[in-house]
Structure 1
Amino acid sequence: MTPAARIAAVIELLGQIEALQRPADTVVQEYTRARRFMGSKDRRAVMDRVFAALRARARLNWWVARAGGESRDEAERRAETAAAGPRHLVLAALVLIDGMAPEDVAGLCDGGQYHPGSLEPDERALVDALAGQPLTHAEQPLWVRVEVPAWLIPSFERVFGDHLERELAALNQEAPVDLRVNPLIEPSREAVTAALAEHGMDAAPTPYAPNGVRLAGRRAVTNSAPFRDGQVEVQDEASQIAAALVGAAPDMAVCDICAGAGGKTLALAGDMDDRGRLVALDIDAERLGRAGPRLARAGAHTVERRVLADERDPWLDANAEAFDRVLVDAPCSGVGAWRRQPDARWKLTQKALANHTDLQDLILDQAAPLVRPGGRLVYATCSLLPEENGDRVAAFRERHPGFVPLPVEHVWAETIGGACPGSGPDLTLTPARTGTDGFYIAVLERREAA
Structure 2
Amino acid sequence: MKYRLTPALFKQTESVLAQVLRFEHPADAVLSRYFRENRQLGHADRAFVAETVFAFLRRRRSLEAACSAQPDHRQRVLATLILARGWRSDDLNGVIKSSEKEWLAALPTFDTANLPPALRCDLPDWLYERLLAQYGEAEVVALAQALSRPAPLDLRTNILHGTREDVLRKLAEAGFSAVPGQLSPLAVRLRGKPALARQPLFLSGDIEVQDEGSQLLGLLLEAKRGEMVTDFCAGAGGKTLLIGAQMRNTGRLYAFDVSEKRLSKLKPRLARSGLSNVHPVRIEHERDSRVKRLSGKMDRVLVDAPCSGLGTVRRNPDLKWRQEARDIDELRAKQAAILAAAASLVRPGGRLVYATCSLLEEENGAVVADFLAQHPEFFPLSAAEILARQGIVLPGEPLPGESLRLRPDVHDTDGFFAAVLERRT
The TM tier, using the shorter chain, reads over 0.9
SS of residue in 2 equivalent to 1:268: helix
Correspondence 1:3-402 to 2 at 5 A: 3-5=5-7, 6-19=9-22, 21-65=24-68, 83-98=70-85, 104=90, 107-109=93-95, 118-119=97-98, 121=99, 123-124=100-101, 126-134=103-111, 137-161=112-136, 162-184=138-160, 186-402=161-377
SS of residue in 1 equivalent to 2:394: coil
SS of residue in 2 equivalent to 1:387: helix
2 CA distance for matches of 1:146 and 1:108?
33
List runs of 5+ in structure 2 lacking aligned partners: none
Q: CA 1:99–1:314 in 2, change beyond 3 Å: closer, same or farther? A: closer
Question: Which 10-residue stretch deviates more, 34-43 or 368-377?
Answer: 34-43
1:329 touches 1:381 (CA, 8 Å); kept in 2?
yes
Q: CA 1:323–1:9 in 2, change beyond 3 Å: closer, same or farther? A: same
Cα drift, residue 131 of structure 1: 4.9
Match of 1:74 in 2: none
2 CA distance for matches of 1:319 and 1:131?
61
1:108 aligned partner, one-letter code = G
SS of residue in 2 equivalent to 1:197: helix
Match of 1:443 in 2: 420
Question: Which 10-residue stretch deviates more, 367-376 or 187-196?
Answer: 187-196
TM-score (norm 2): 0.92
Any idea what the Cα deviations from partners look like across 1:385-437, whole Å, max 9, x if unmatched?
Answer: 111001111111111122111112111123x3232344231011011111100
Cα drift, residue 180 of structure 1: 0.7
Q: CA 1:322–1:222 in 2, change beyond 3 Å: closer, same or farther? A: same
Match of 1:114 in 2: none
Q: CA 1:401–1:108 in 2, change beyond 3 Å: closer, same or farther? A: farther
Question: Which 10-residue stretch deviates more, 345-354 or 9-18?
Answer: 9-18
2 CA distance for matches of 1:418 and 1:125?
54
Any idea what the Cα deviations from partners look like across 1:344-386, whole Å, max 9, x if unmatched?
Answer: 1101112221221111000011011111111111010011011
Cα drift, residue 337 of structure 1: 0.5
1:160 touches 1:167 (CA, 8 Å); kept in 2?
no
Match of 1:430 in 2: 407
1:92 aligned partner, one-letter code = A
Cα drift, residue 100 of structure 1: 5.3
Cα drift, residue 295 of structure 1: 0.8
1 CA distance for matches of 2:16 and 2:167?
37
Cα drift, residue 47 of structure 1: 2.2
Any idea what the Cα deviations from partners look like across 1:83-113, whole Å, max 9, x if unmatched?
Answer: 52210111223343356565x3762325xxx
TM-score (norm 1): 0.87
1 CA distance for matches of 2:92 and 2:278?
59
2 CA distance for matches of 1:193 and 1:267?
18
Cα drift, residue 316 of structure 1: 2.8
Q: CA 1:106–1:242 in 2, change beyond 3 Å: closer, same or farther? A: closer
SS of residue in 2 equivalent to 1:333: coil
Any idea what the Cα deviations from partners look like across 1:252-296, whole Å, max 9, x if unmatched?
Answer: 211101011111101100111110121111122222232122111
1:91 touches 1:105 (CA, 8 Å); kept in 2?
no
Cα drift, residue 61 of structure 1: 1.1
2:4 aligned partner, one-letter code = T
1:381 touches 1:440 (CA, 8 Å); kept in 2?
yes
SS of residue in 2 equivalent to 1:266: helix
2:52 touches 2:85 (CA, 8 Å); kept in 1?
no
2 CA distance for matches of 1:11 and 1:366?
46
Q: CA RMSD in A?
A: 2.0
1:258 touches 1:282 (CA, 8 Å); kept in 2?
yes
> Could you tell me the percent identity over the aligned residues?
40
Match of 1:79 in 2: none
Match of 1:2 in 2: 4
2:43 aligned partner, one-letter code = S
SS of residue in 2 equivalent to 1:375: strand
* Alignment length (residue pairs): 418
1:155 touches 1:386 (CA, 8 Å); kept in 2?
no
2 CA distance for matches of 1:138 and 1:108?
32
2 CA distance for matches of 1:264 and 1:213?
16
1 CA distance for matches of 2:128 and 2:49?
31
1 CA distance for matches of 2:42 and 2:287?
52
2 CA distance for matches of 1:377 and 1:288?
22
2 CA distance for matches of 1:413 and 1:95?
46
Q: CA 1:187–1:392 in 2, change beyond 3 Å: closer, same or farther? A: same
